[in-house]
Structure 1
Amino acid sequence: MVLVTAAALAVALAVAVAVFALTQPSADSAGPLPLVPVPAPESGAPGCTTLLGAVPAELTSNGASLKVRELATPAPPATVAWGTDDPLVLRCGLNRPPELTPTAALRLVNGVQWLQVPGEGASTWYVVDREVYAALTVPDSAGTGPLQQISDTVAAKLPARALRFS
């Protein structure tokens, strides 16, 4: 009987610890988001300043509200992120994506042409028809809301221009 009681207490303790761990915010989401810098030679361009100054403080993804996230120092230039667990990241002033070719499949979202580059667990969507290249990395679990909201901002703040393939 003592052995059964001890086993039951051990199981109860394990369940309590698991429930506690699942209900606490993760350590990763508590502090600033560290991001790896990527080449962004046009990050100081007026188009990036205009775009980043106009992005929404919150994005809606699958009904959830994602707030702008603080970036760890040193933060990559012309970069903003939203959300905690699987953040969305917008970078501006990037080089032309090598996947942008005359035969690349582009998607028009709210008046903005995007090039999707799938990745592991996320896709990066490049704005390809404006004065600067910007990229929105979106987890596969996110809905289409963030892409639509950023498209609205891009369309409102940056005039369209012809695609550049070189």
Structure 2
Amino acid sequence: MARELRIPRALTALPAPVRWLAAPVALTCTVVVLIGSWSSADDPAVEVPRPSGKAADYCRALGAALPPELLGRTRRDPSPASPYVAAWGDSPRVVLRCGVDRPDELDGDHARDWSPTVDDVTWWSQRLADGGYRFVTTMRAAYVEVTVPAGAAQNPFDPAAALTPAVKANVPG
């Protein structure tokens, strides 16, 4: 025995084309809202530095010279776009920020932390609470920071080392 489908009276009053489109439009709107509301807890917002003067010029030049791929990770800059921020990979992602303030830790107990030098660019390092690392250039006309979350690279220093040629060429020491 087949049951008869009853359509609510409010819908029967609508013209046929509107009734036919109602379900697809509602479904499309729902999908758009869901996709727009998705955000990854592993991909926090990136604070955009605000360098000025020559430092801003150096950082813009560095931003233009950065590679589209870093150690097999595709460049995917955070939104909103900024000439001072670049990122590679998804989650976790490596993030470069140029024109950051001088880290306060350089004056404290961490001032003597491991600071490798690659091709005359010294990177002060700091281990982060999540197991990742933050590397900041020292003795340059603008401070460049590279954050490498745990699991983003086989060796946490590799991204900073790979970015050294671009830093050296665009941010004088």
Q: Give yes or no for TM over 0.5.
A: yes
The AA in structure 1 aligned to 2:63 is: L
Partners of 1:111 and 1:90 in 2: CA distance: 19
SS in 2 for 1:49: helix
Are residue 110 (structure 1) and residue 110 (structure 2) matched?
A: no
Q: For residues 84 and 108 of structure 1, what CA distance do their matches in structure 2 show?
A: 28
TM-score when normalising by structure 1:
0.65
- Aligned: 1:57 with 2:68: yes
Please give the per-residue CA displacement for 1:89-110, whole angstroms capped at 9, x wherever unaligned: 0001111111123953422123
* Inter-partner Cα distance in structure 2 for 1:96 and 1:123: 16
Q: Deviations over 1:108-144 (max 9, x none)?
A: 1232111111102311100112111110001233124
Counterpart check, 1:46 vs 2:51: no
The secondary structure found in structure 2 opposite 1:86 is coil
SS in 1 for 2:95: strand
Q: Please tell me the root mean square deviation across aligned C-alpha atoms, in Å.
A: 2.5
Q: Distance in 1 between matches of 2:44 and 2:159?
A: 21
Residues 41 and 150 (structure 1), Cα distance of their counterparts in 2 relative to 1, 3 Å cut: same
State the secondary structure of the residue aligned to 1:80: strand
Once the 2 structures are TM-superposed, how far is the Cα of residue 77 of structure 1 from its aligned partner?
A: 6.0
What is aligned with 1:91?
97
- State the AA in 1 paired with 2:87: A
Maintained 8 Å contact 1:51/1:154: yes
Count residues in correspondence.
125
Higher relative contact order, chain-length normalized (CA < 8 Å, sep 6+) = 1
The equivalent position to 2:168 in structure 1, one of 118, 141, 155, is 155
Q: Distance in 1 between matches of 2:77 and 2:95?
A: 11
> Which segment drifts farther, 98-107 or 47-56?
98-107
Rg (Cα) greater in structure: 2
Show structure 2 runs of 5+ residues with no match.
Answer: 1-37
- Which structure features the higher share of strand residues? 1
Q: Which runs of 4+ in 1 moved over 2 A?
A: 101-106
Gaps of 5+ in 1: 1-26, 161-166
CA positional deviation for 1:148: 1.4
| CA spacing shift, 1:41–1:28, aligned 2, 3 Å | closer
1:28, CA displacement in angstroms? 5.9
2: CA distance between counterparts of 1:148 and 1:84?
20
